[in-house]
Structure 1
């Protein structure tokens, strides 16, 4: 399941207005600006699908100011345990990716969040994360982001 997507944009204000209008037509709502307090984590402007936060896992899209050299794609994938996060990160590295940051707890994103970040050979960033504990409906949730 896709958990979240970061889109790097040239103008955060202009892009936030665009995505707010566009995503509302699909039932998404604006979360607004998330000011980061963690080093190396950018401020984000978020949008949440209808299921998000209603006792279900849902998808989110986060806009961030594009940094030099970014490709613009950052996708977060759901894992079911820290062990699965580790195994996925190891498999990605074995297949040619680079570990972007140490695998471990990311409490600045929420208590119990355990993740790994890898970068493929084209510069695309992939986060594999386990939210512990997951919402009770997680195994049965069906939404547009399930793959």
Structure 2
């Protein structure tokens, strides 16, 4: 058996959104993932994923026929230019502006943009300013 390797974030192991129109969500999240430099994986007719975010249709096995409600999800961006690219790509792919790129008062250096996805989820890209990370991701090998 070949070893598999996953890279995971700092706090959330994974999040699933169950959406009404998987194709519209694939276009939206595909554009967002491209802008953020994150690959999409696991695509089939009922789901796909981006890092820790799993997006599925209501008829996927995990969804049990139910759509999720409105969520707020923030992706990490490497710099303000990536936040601006996220916002432009998300709008071009069918998202609705929910806060143009700019500094926010949450803490010094917090630069973010917000877009509603096709299901009304509030999706954010945030750059936290100049800071040192202990690691780019948690590496899991099994």
TM-score of the superposed pair, with normalisation by structure 1: 0.46
TM-score of the superposed pair, with normalisation by structure 2: 0.47
